[in-house]
Structure 1
Amino acid sequence: MAWPRSAGPLELRPPTSADLDGVLAWRNRPEVTRWLLRTTVDPEAFRRAWLDSVADPEQQAVVAVLDGLVIGTGSLEIRDGMGQFDGDAWRRAEGLLGYLVDPAHAGNGHATRIAGALLDVAFIELGLHRVTAGCFADNVASWRVMEKLGMRREQHGVQDSWHAELGWVDGYTYGILADEWAPTSATASVPVPGSS
């Protein structure tokens, strides 16, 4: 993968320990954890997991930097699709997309840029067949990002998700196929010249 890369005003790159200190400054805040499955995280375990992901070929984990400040994260977990054991087209054919933005920078299209750049990586560079993402149904900002990117709502799970504050709530799963992905100038990512 060619990192860093630009996504609009953002620079996306693998995280460093110092970057993760910046993420941890806002990651465990209640306004962030309200819509996450993993609410608060242990800082050392969080840092270790993200730094370990840098060398893992099944993971594409990035931080989003704006004017020198880490304002978001993105992840693409590569996994096997579903398929019969005759052949192996389904192996490493799918991705699970995740994104998170510091609330101080929300509402500016940054989540869409992060997710769009990772869809570029998934389909253009890794040749994946399909990418999915999920969220609580009440997390309107998250599913709007998915819909802006052309992802379709494939599942509406009725009370399929436990929320510590709200109890059993509905969840959504979105998906998009490689031949459906059409990056726009707002979502396309561009490797930064001179990067590896």
Structure 2
Amino acid sequence: MEDQPPYPLQTPRLLLREFRLEDFDDIHAYATDPLTVRYMDWGPNTEQVTHEFLERQIAQQATWPRRDFSYAVELLAERKVIGSVRLGLSDHRNADFGYSLGSAYWGVGLGAEAARALVNLAFDRFDAHRVWASCDTRNRRSFGVMEKLGLRREGTLRQNQPAHEGGWRDTHIYAVLAHEWAARRNA
């Protein structure tokens, strides 16, 4: 681990940065959107839940060193937080990531742009050997992002998460290895 947390990360259209108290309204807007949270294991949020989320993120940011990094996703053109992403480091040089963007920002490549920054971070700064992500099997947009980035579906976990509408949901697991990522970047 290096001396400083890996904040901020900038992509052509996004700033992945630490959370701030003044982000509450933006976060609450996407966290209450039924389309945004449809396949997540959280939401739609109450104001209390959004406050708790934001307080947890800010408290975590004050801790160093750590193995989990959450970022507010700010759309540079609007100076607005439109979602959040997370990178978690685990044993054996594995890392996992996740993302959630407000539904108004889907379909224009922002999810892939943010996720690519996290995968690059995992391999370049943290020397990951394998980076993986998961999603609800019904969430075609999410696994579309993973496939666009070159992650391969490794399998499906059956009925491993509670579903929003009750019952259980299945989860796809996607991953990419360091040498595969390097080959894609150099192609």
In which range does the TM-score fall when normalised by the shorter chain?
Answer: 0.7 to 0.9
The equivalent residue for 1:26 is 30
Q: Which residue among 56, 62, 75 is the counterpart of 1:55? A: 62
Number of residue pairs matched by the alignment: 174
State the TM-score, normalized to the length of structure 2: 0.84
The equivalent residue for 1:74 is 85
- In structure 2, runs of 5+ residues without a counterpart are none
Amino acid paired to 2:180 = E
- Identical-pair percentage: 31
RMSD: 2.0
- Change beyond 3 A, Cα 1:78–1:164: same
The equivalent residue for 2:178 is 178
User: Would you say the 8 A contact 1:160–1:170 is kept in 2?
Assistant: yes
1:1-196 → structure 2 map (5 Å cutoff): 1-41=5-45, 42-56=49-63, 57-66=66-75, 67=77, 68-80=79-91, 90=92, 93-165=93-165, 167-182=167-182
State the TM-score, normalized to the length of structure 1: 0.80
Query: How far off is 1:127 after superposition?
Result: 0.9
Give CA-to-partner distance per residue, 1:72-102, whole Å, 9 cap, x none. Answer: 211001122xxxxxxxxx2xx2112011111
Query: RCO (CA 8 Å, sep 6+): is it higher in 1 or 2?
Result: 1
Q: Partner of 2:55: helix, strand, or coil? A: helix
- In structure 1, runs of 5+ residues without a counterpart are 81-89, 186-196
User: CA–CA distance in 2 between the matches of 1:8 and 1:53?
Assistant: 27
User: Would you say the 8 A contact 2:33–2:102 is kept in 1?
Assistant: no
User: Would you say the 8 A contact 1:73–1:114 is kept in 2?
Assistant: no
